[in-house]
A = this chain, B = another copy of it.
Amino acid sequence: MSDNRFVYFDYAATTPVDPRVLDAMTPYFTELFGNANSLYGVGRQAFNALEDARSRVARSIGAAEPREIIFTSGGTESDNAAIIGITRAIAPKGGHVIVSAFEHHAILGPAHLLEKDGYDVTYLRPRADGVVHVEDLQSALREDTVLVSVMHANNELGTIQPIAELAAAAHASGALMHTDAAQSVGQIPFNVVELGIDAATFSSHKIYGPKGVGVLYLRRGVRFQPQINGGGQEFKRRSGTQNVGGAIGFATALELMLEDQSEEIARLTGLREKFEKGVISALENTEVSAKADNRLPNIAHMLIKGVEGESMLLQLDAKGVAVSTGSACSSGSLEPSHVLLSIGCPQELAHGSLRASFGRFTTEEDIDYFLEVFPPIVNRLRAMSPVYDKMFGSSAK
């Protein structure tokens, strides 16, 4: 057990750029620096590279045409653009939108904005298993529902949502379907046609691509009001000089994810199970947060009862282990994760959540190291708590 060891268990927060991705991007900073909208040689090279990236992304997600791919500055922008751009284009005067209650803030934020502007928004609750159930969506759908947005995989719990069924229900009711696939694309099979969705969000830095790059998939024919206007780039849907290197980085990163996806699913699922079982057997009062079996291979999300998340995180950091906790918003450790609350987790437990997310460079040894350093940390924090014994100790039983 070395204190210099660095164990990164927060791939769901962000990933390092894969060296192969960086290599693919590098020429576009210097020699191939042209503006993709310029007509001369160096501009045409940039244009060709950009359009090549667009085609490769389209192919990777099963899109019918490259122009369904719009490059953006990240998952947050794509989410905002989808929610507001589609809703306002279809129902400029108001209407009804459904988003799940455990969406990322990049969806909840624009949903609140629409509400302020007079739209009706339903925040559809997932059930305790961490899944949005089709019957619940069906009851929420209304005649004036314009858009439904449910994330493909939840970024905290890792639970995978039945997007194809949800999309079918939305369509049956005349609504469009958007899914935030920032956490799932590349990790698990993702095909826009098989899922039957109209729009989707991707973020490059979750899949070993560069930060500041994302994609909005917009099925051909979906009406859309651009949220950033100007020169009319990206088929008039997203203005601004394109980040050509970034687009190539994203396309390359996504292709690399797909290359060994099934092997990685198996490998990471194994690591996750080892992690979850290891924690549960080493520590009393711990459990996997969401009961659904259909979860991302790479996210373990657990409740460590009677411990506060940030203190756990910082102690792990001192041991060189990077994890996250649903309650780590620095607007106060007092604010528990809206995701956990949405599935009915009591507040006092929600404060003690731990998310460990694994990736390309995670090894068995990393898990072993974690299982060595983690239990003493929890035991120490529990011993320091004025209420642990009272609430969870054997005397409390």
Binding site for B on A (CB under 8 A): 6, 8, 10, 13-17, 19, 22, 29-31, 33-35, 37-43, 72-77, 79-80, 104-110, 112-113, 203, 205, 210-213, 227-232, 239-246, 310, 313-314, 316-317, 320-324, 328, 330-331
Q: In the complex, are the beta carbons of B239 and A106 less than 8 A apart?
A: yes
Q: Are B212 and A43 in contact (CB under 8 A)?
A: no
B104 near A230 (CB under 8 angstroms)? yes
Interface pair B39/A211, CB less than 8 Å apart:
no
User: A16 touching B30 by the CB < 8 A rule?
Assistant: yes
Contact in complex: A33, B15 (CB < 8 Å)? yes
B211 touches A242 (CB 8 A): yes
Measured between beta carbons, the chain B residues less than 8 angstroms from A245 are 210-211
In the bound assembly, the distance between CA atoms of A391 and B34 in angstroms comes to 36
Rounded to whole Å, the gap between the CB of A301 and the closest CB of chain B is 16
Q: Is B230's CB under 8 angstroms from A80's CB? A: yes
Known: A30-B22, A239-B105. Is A76-B39 also a contact (CB below 8 A)?
no
CB < 8 Å neighbour of A10 from B19, B38, B110: B38
Q: How far is the CA of A242 from the CA of B211 in the complex (A)?
A: 7
On whether the beta carbons of B105 and A241 are closer than 8 Å, the reply is no
A34, B14: Cα distance in complex, Å = 7
A108, B229: Cα distance in complex, Å = 8
Complex contacts, A205 vs chain B, CB 8 Å: 241
Name the distance in Å between A383's Cβ and chain B's nearest Cβ. Answer: 23
Residues of B within 8 A of A39 (CB): 310, 313-314, 317, 328, 330
B19→A33 contact, CB < 8 A: no
Question: In angstroms, how far is the closest chain B Cβ from the Cβ of A84?
Answer: 9
With A17-B33, A73-B73 known, 11 other A-B pairs at CB within 8 A are: A10-B35, A16-B29, A17-B30, A22-B29, A39-B317, A40-B316, A105-B231, A107-B230, A112-B229, A113-B229, A232-B331
**For residue A41, which residue of chain B has the nearest CB?**
B317
Q: Which 10 A-B pairs have the closest CB atoms?
A: A212-B243, A109-B229, A73-B73, A106-B230, A76-B240, A40-B317, A16-B33, A17-B29, A14-B35, A40-B322
Stoichiometry, as copies per complex, reads: 2
Instruction: List chain B residues, Cβ under 8 A from A242.
Output: 211-212
**Minimum CB distance partner of A21 in chain B:** B29
Most chain B C-beta atoms within 10 Å of own C-beta, residue among A8, A16, A212: A212
* Nearest CB of chain B from residue A362's CB, rounded to whole Å: 15
A38 B106 Cβ-Cβ under 8 A? no
Q: Which residue of chain B is the closest to A46 with respect to CB atoms? A: B14
A40 to B324, CA, bound (A): 9
Given A77-B228, A240-B75, also A13-B29 (CB < 8 A) = no
Contacts of A213 in B (CB 8 A): 212
Residue pair A8, B42 in contact (C-beta under 8 Å): yes
- Answer whether A229 and B105 are a contact pair too, CB < 8 Å, given A35-B13, A240-B73, A243-B211: yes
CB-CB under 8 A from A43, the residues of chain B are 10, 13, 322
Cα–Cα, bound, A244→B327 (Å):
23
The docked-state distance in angstroms from the alpha carbon of A39 to that of B105 is: 19
CB <8 Å contact, B13 and A19: no
A17 to B29, CA, bound (A): 5
CA distance A42 to B7 in the complex (A): 11
Q: Which of B16, B231, B310 contacts A76 (CB 8 A)?
A: B231
In the bound complex, what is the Cα–Cα distance between A107 and B230 (angstroms)?
7
Instruction: Please name all residues of chain B whose beta carbon is closer than 8 Å to the beta carbon of A35 when the two chains form the complex.
Output: 10, 13-14
B322 A38 Cβ-Cβ under 8 A: yes
Q: Judge whether B239 and A109 touch: CB under 8 Å.
A: yes
Which residues of B have CB within 8 Å of A13? 35, 37-38, 43
Bound Cα distance from A213 to B6, whole angstroms? 30
Minimum CB distance partner of A111 in chain B: B229
Q: Which one of B105, B211, B331 contacts A244 once the chains associate, using CB atoms below 8 Å?
A: B211
